[in-house]
Amino acid sequence: MSHGLAQIMVKVMKARANDALNKIHELQRVGAGPKQKRALSSCASKYNAILIADIPQATEALQKGDPKFAEDGANDAANEATYCESDFSGKSPLTKQNNAMHDVAAVTASIVRTITLNLVSC
């Protein structure tokens, strides 16, 4: 596995995070009850963290040849999506986006972990 595949996956993570944020903003514009407004606001913060911290961390780590930090960034992004989903207590309008973000981030972390293992065994 090459760093190139991992870099592509980080770009896919970024696209999924932007998709989720767009959906959040759309739902905020349409209007929601107080509980849903709080959950949407919380999710917006989580997806902003993915875009502002996790994805740049993963990108920079891959560029610098430090895959462990890239794996951490991808795992953080997967966790943020899971936390967003739980903010809605089972009635999430973002399940599709959260699952997509979680899954692509988990796959990215796995790819990066494989790169790390390959580097160690060389």
pLDDT surpasses 90 at 108: yes
What is the per-residue pLDDT across 59-93, written as a single tens digit (0 to 9) for each? 999 999 888 899 999 999 999 999 999 999 878 99
The pLDDT value recorded for residue 120 is 56
pLDDT surpasses 80 at 95: yes
Residue 6: which of 50, 57, 43 has the closest Cα? Answer: 57
- Round to whole Å and give the CA distance between 108 and 73: 10
What residues contact 71, with CB distance under 8 A and at least 6 apart? 109, 112, 113, 116
- Model pTM score: 0.90
What is the per-residue pLDDT across 21-66, written as a single tens digit (0 to 9) for each? 999 999 999 977 888 999 999 999 999 999 999 999 999 999 998 8
The C-alpha angle 62, 63, 68, rounded to 5 degrees, equals 30
Average pLDDT (91-105) is: 96
